[in-house]
Amino acid sequence: MVKCINVAVPVPFLDQLTYRLPDGIATPVRGARVLVPLGTRLVTGVVAGEGEPSPDTPTLKSVVEVLDAEAFLPGPVLDLALWVADYYACGAGDAVAAAMPPRAMAHGRASAHRTVRTAAVTVQGREAIDGRTAAPPGSKQREALAVLAGAPEGLALPVLRDRGVAASTLARLARRGLVAIRRDQVDRDPFAGWAAPVLAGDDPSADRTLTDEQAEALARLEALVAAGEFRVALLHGVTGSGKTEVYVRLARAVRAMARTVLVLVPEIALTPAVARSFRSVFGDEVAIQHSGLSDGERYDQWQRIRHGAVSVVVGTRSAVFAPLAGLGLVIVDEEQDASFKQEETPRYHGRDVAIVRGRDAGALVVLGSATPAVETYHHARSGRYEHLRLTRRVLDRPLASVRVVNMREEYAAHGTDVIFSQPLVAAIGERLGRGEQALVLLNRRGLATAVFCRQCAGTLECPNCSVSLTVHTERSGRPRGRCHYCNYSVAVPKACSQCAGPYLERAGFGTERVEAEVTALWPHARVARLDRDTARRRGAGPDTLSRVARGEVDVLVGTQMIAKGHDFPNVTLVGVVSADVGLGLADFRAAERTFQLLTQVAGRAGRGARPGEAVIQTLYPDHYSIRHACRQDYAAFFEEELRFRRALRYPPIVGLIAVVFRAPTFAQALEEASDLAARLREGRDETLRVLGPAPAPLGRLRGEYRVHVILKGTHRGAMREALLAALASRPDLRRRVTVDVDPLSVL
Ligand code: ADP
Ligand code: ZN
């Protein structure tokens, strides 16, 4: 009898493939890696289960080698990945690859590079520093020695690079015998690099008294943990209500029962408070998993988790697949955050997968938020989730008082090119005078958002995408137009490329311009900016944040990156330059996102002893998302939002699947989308509605035209089946179609 196994191979969109086991190769366990032929290549796949011998078994290809004697992926993690493949309609290998540590599916056996190069001062180097011998001539070399002098054991090269020490400088010092470079065997500690300066600081005290609300929530959650059954709880607590303290104490209770804890955060670099709190209680028992780590670091941590050396994992989205055994608690902090959704295949939502993981493990899942996702609150209100509330800040600190400025009136009084209203200028000035700090938010990067010609009205557009180019200041100081989607960039021309007229003007403004404006108004203020442009440099984001924490920055300007999770006691003012930036988007979540962003950012003010204030500038003071955000009234916002979702049939009233067709011409994309839509409509399932085809709001992206079809329905299983059946009839389209189940936006 021929034996067969099913294997998930890392090839986009492929289902599991069946292979036969040749004589002499023992049956591998489920979750082990195997080397199998695929086309003309050999690839590493993961055994998903026993295969069915069928009439065509003799023609099946054979497994070449079994790479693991034991399961590489634990059973529950493999099951979770296969669930993801099914639910999000992607390939089995796509999902399994997402669950694997880096390089584990590279051809052959995985190798972890367990060494790091470290530089340390030599005896001669010390003498040079002390002035007992001639010091090196270059200032760069002297600076490098000064940095190394503070670390007798030496510093890893990546750490030195983050501190501005170039590899060439180190090489020169090494040649002079002032520095020695060695190779260290390490189990890398990801906290050692960027995290250290952020992690230092206030230590959450083990014996601080909980507020009544914290104590009540904790007691309820502990009871749920003790029941040892799957349950989802929403911990709905206003900003500064001390949710982290509740998580940590609950985690202790779970550890006391010898079960493990998984904590998901939206972006680890921006949520140091959470990582720090868990580390301070659980020390080395904590592993960290996020995409900011190098492959080697991630691999090491993954192995530690896999071998049971770790009982608490803190990580971003992909950590939902961490190979923890005996899971008792899953925490998803800031569960409403859009970064939990992966915007490439597999397009899974970390929070939703976390809930499935908790269900399979019989664990408690705690979703924490000050502004829950509409879906989450909907389930909490209906009783499907436990609903726990923290309505007050710790130590009876008041929520920030919010003041709305109608920019139409400001424009009428002071002209349309003002960036800061009079009330905001006054409020920032006051903070500077008192030595307090201010955050200024504008959720849009760059210097200007468009360049247009006053003569022919032409605009500077991306040749690949249907968007206008954003103006950024380059290092050279010259302006450059850049596409935020495909990264195309061009020097801003002096004359219009269409009519040759020299009348180019800039419109709109972003964070770069706001930063310049702050500097112009308050030349002595210490200003910093945090957005995707400044954070691109490795370590720059955490570095800016720790400078703010140390009081070395007076005004921090930034995008939504500054709105999340930080706890700066000396920030007493938050200014929002244009609260309506996101409302213009043709997206059903625009109001929800705006409400969340405003509430989050207002929550950054007044977290210390002094009360906070928020000044919100807007053109639409009457829009419900802005009105309710100013009163920080989540429930009222939710009621209005749900009415809108119900009227237009959007989630959580129905489920959505967005199908985007990409093609070199619009006609082709439209033709293919129409064909698929027609096949979908043939099914005549009453629970399913097919909208489109229609040009996607982003009609062109990276040189391709985009047309979409949207499925709406109340039964996701039926929707998926109908879609997969339709797609199966056009296999030629598979690579040009993007399927997004539960899309966060339909742009
Ligand atoms: P949230 O995540 O709900 O916005 P945090 O967990 O960041 O709030 O807590 C806000 C601040 O209050 C933190 O500095 C935290 O250490 C502190 N804190 C939490 N609980 C208490 C308590 N019971 N007493 C005093 N301070 C607390
Ligand atoms: Zn582009």
Q: Average of pLDDT values for 124-140?
A: 79
**Atom in ligand 1 nearest the alpha carbon of residue 244:** 6
Give residue 203's region: left, alpha or beta (phi > 0; psi -120 to 50).
beta
239 lines ligand 1 (CB under 6 A): yes
The amino acid that residue 351 corresponds to is R
Residues with Cβ within 8 Å of residue 205, at least 6 apart in sequence = none
Which has more pLDDT, 667 or 290?
667
Is the confidence at residue 186, as pLDDT, over 50? no
Q: Average of pLDDT values for 81-85?
A: 96
Give residue 264 CA to ligand 1 midpoint distance, Å: 18
208 lines ligand 1 (CB under 6 A): yes
395 lines ligand 1 (CB under 6 A): yes
Hey, whose CA ends up nearest to atom 13 of ligand 1? Answer: 242
Pairing relationship of beta strands 327-333 and 260-264 according to DSSP bridges: parallel
Give pLDDT, residue 595.
93
Q: CB–CB of 487/464 below 8 Å?
A: no
Give the integer Cα–Cα distance in Å for 399 and 392.
8
204 lines ligand 1 (CB under 6 A): yes
394 lines ligand 1 (CB under 6 A): yes
Question: Residue 567 — pLDDT band, cuts 50, 70, 90?
Answer: confident
Is the confidence at residue 180, as pLDDT, over 90? no
Give residue 703 CA to ligand 2 midpoint distance, Å: 8
Residues with Cβ within 8 Å of residue 137, at least 6 apart in sequence = none
pLDDT in tens, 122-131: 878 888 887 7
Percent residues over pLDDT 90 in the chain? 47
Q: Which ligand is nearest to the CA of 272?
A: 1
Question: Residue 111 — pLDDT band, cuts 50, 70, 90?
Answer: very low
3-state secondary structure labels for all residues of 185-244: ECCCCCHHHHHHHHHCCCCCCCCCCCCHHHHHHHHHHHHHHHHCCCEEEEEEECCCCCHH
Q: Average of pLDDT values for 393-422?
A: 88
**Of 231-240, 578-587, 689-698, which gets the smallest average pLDDT?**
578-587
Give pLDDT, residue 565.
62
Pocket test for ligand 1, best of 277, 366, 390, 567 (most atoms within 8 A of CB): 567
Give the integer Cα–Cα distance in Å for 157 and 144.
12
Q: Average of pLDDT values for 546-571?
A: 87
**Of 214-218, 220-224, 491-495, 684-688, which gets the smallest average pLDDT?**
684-688
Most confident of 371-375, 464-468, 565-569: 371-375
> Helix (H, G, I), strand (E, B), or coil: what is residue 716?
helix
Backbone angles phi, psi at 116, to 5 degrees: -140, 145
242 lines ligand 1 (CB under 6 A): yes
**Atom in ligand 1 nearest the alpha carbon of residue 239:** 4
The residues facing 678 across adjacent strands are none
Give pLDDT, residue 158.
67
The CB-based long-range contact list for 199-206 (8 Å cut-off, 24+ gap) reads 199/272, 199/275, 199/276, 199/279, 201/276, 201/549, 203/280, 204/244, 204/245, 204/248, 204/276, 204/277, 204/280, 204/281, 206/281
Give residue 602 CA to ligand 1 midpoint distance, Å: 16
Give pLDDT, residue 673.
94
pLDDT in tens, 6-45: 999 988 778 899 999 988 888 999 999 999 988 888 889 9
**Of 127-136, 184-193, 295-304, 565-574, which gets the smallest average pLDDT?**
184-193
Give residue 598 CA to ligand 2 midpoint distance, Å: 29
Give the integer Cα–Cα distance in Å for 230 and 677.
39
pLDDT in tens, 613-635: 999 999 999 999 999 998 889 99
Which tokens sit at 419? 């960036």
Is the confidence at residue 268, as pLDDT, over 80? no
Which has more pLDDT, 58 or 650?
650
Q: Average of pLDDT values for 286-312?
A: 87
Most confident of 107-121, 366-380, 475-489, 551-565: 366-380
Would you call 423 exposed, middle or buried from its count of C-beta atoms within 10 A (0-12, 13-18, 19+)? middle
> Helix (H, G, I), strand (E, B), or coil: what is residue 516?
helix
Give the integer Cα–Cα distance in Å for 582 and 580.
5
Which has more pLDDT, 267 or 421?
421
Give the integer Cα–Cα distance in Å for 739 and 254.
38
599 lines ligand 1 (CB under 6 A): no
pLDDT in tens, 496-505: 888 888 888 8
Pocket test for ligand 1, best of 211, 245, 333 (most atoms within 8 A of CB): 245
Mean pLDDT of the chain: 86
Which has more pLDDT, 85 or 568?
85
Q: Which ligand is nearest to the CA of 700?
A: 2
Is the confidence at residue 716, as pLDDT, over 60? yes
Is the confidence at residue 114, as pLDDT, over 80? no
Hey, whose CA ends up nearest to atom 2 of ligand 1? Answer: 243
Give residue 705 CA to ligand 2 midpoint distance, Å: 12
Give residue 192 CA to ligand 1 midpoint distance, Å: 25
567 lines ligand 1 (CB under 6 A): yes
Give residue 240 CA to ligand 1 midpoint distance, Å: 6
The residues facing 327 across adjacent strands are 260
Give the integer Cα–Cα distance in Å for 22 and 118.
48
Give pLDDT, residue 473.
87
Give pLDDT, residue 674.
95
Is the confidence at residue 189, as pLDDT, over 60? no
Give the integer Cα–Cα distance in Å for 441 and 530.
10
Cis peptide before 346 (omega within 30 of 0): yes
**Of 33-42, 151-160, 215-224, 726-735, which gets the smallest average pLDDT?**
151-160
> Helix (H, G, I), strand (E, B), or coil: what is residue 738?
strand
Place of tokens 């309609």: 89
Give residue 466 CA to ligand 2 midpoint distance, Å: 7
Q: CB–CB of 353/363 below 8 Å?
A: no
Give pLDDT, residue 210.
93
Q: Which ligand is nearest to the CA of 606?
A: 1
Hey, whose CA ends up nearest to atom 10 of ligand 1? Answer: 240
Give residue 650 CA to ligand 2 midpoint distance, Å: 29
Pairing relationship of beta strands 504-507 and 450-453 according to DSSP bridges: antiparallel
Q: CB–CB of 667/661 below 8 Å?
A: no
Give residue 483 CA to ligand 2 midpoint distance, Å: 5
Q: Which ligand is nearest to the CA of 701?
A: 2
211 lines ligand 1 (CB under 6 A): yes
Is the confidence at residue 256, as pLDDT, over 90? yes
Give residue 692 CA to ligand 2 midpoint distance, Å: 25
Residue among 441, 403, 389, 433 nearest 612 (CA): 403
Give pLDDT, residue 521.
95
Chain mean position to CA 412? 40
Give the integer Cα–Cα distance in Å for 143 and 135.
11
pTM strictly above 0.85: no
Q: CB–CB of 683/724 below 8 Å?
A: no
**Of 207-216, 454-463, 662-671, which gets the smallest average pLDDT?**
454-463
Is the confidence at residue 537, as pLDDT, over 80? no
Q: Which ligand is nearest to the CA of 483?
A: 2
Residues with Cβ within 8 Å of residue 654, at least 6 apart in sequence = 712, 713, 714
Q: CB–CB of 319/342 below 8 Å?
A: no
Q: Strands across the sheet with 737-741, in order?
A: 688-701, 704-713, 655-663, 737-741
241 lines ligand 1 (CB under 6 A): yes
Residue among 495, 492, 462 nearest 476 (CA): 492
Give pLDDT, residue 198.
39
193 lines ligand 1 (CB under 6 A): no
Which has more pLDDT, 164 or 166?
166
Hey, whose CA ends up nearest to atom 20 of ligand 1? Answer: 242
Question: Residue 110 — pLDDT band, cuts 50, 70, 90?
Answer: very low
**Of 2-11, 370-379, 520-529, which gets the smallest average pLDDT?**
2-11
44 lines ligand 1 (CB under 6 A): no
Question: Residue 670 — pLDDT band, cuts 50, 70, 90?
Answer: very high
Q: Which ligand is nearest to the CA of 202?
A: 1
Q: CB–CB of 103/135 below 8 Å?
A: no
245 lines ligand 1 (CB under 6 A): yes
Give pLDDT, residue 323.
96
**Atom in ligand 1 nearest the alpha carbon of residue 204:** 16
Give pLDDT, residue 109.
38
Question: Residue 185 — pLDDT band, cuts 50, 70, 90?
Answer: very low
Q: What angle do CA 214, 218, 224 make, to 5 degrees?
A: 155
What beta strand segments (E) does 23-105 contain?
33-38, 41-50, 65-66
Q: Average of pLDDT values for 659-671?
A: 94
Give the integer Cα–Cα distance in Å for 204 and 631.
30
Which has more pLDDT, 31 or 587?
31
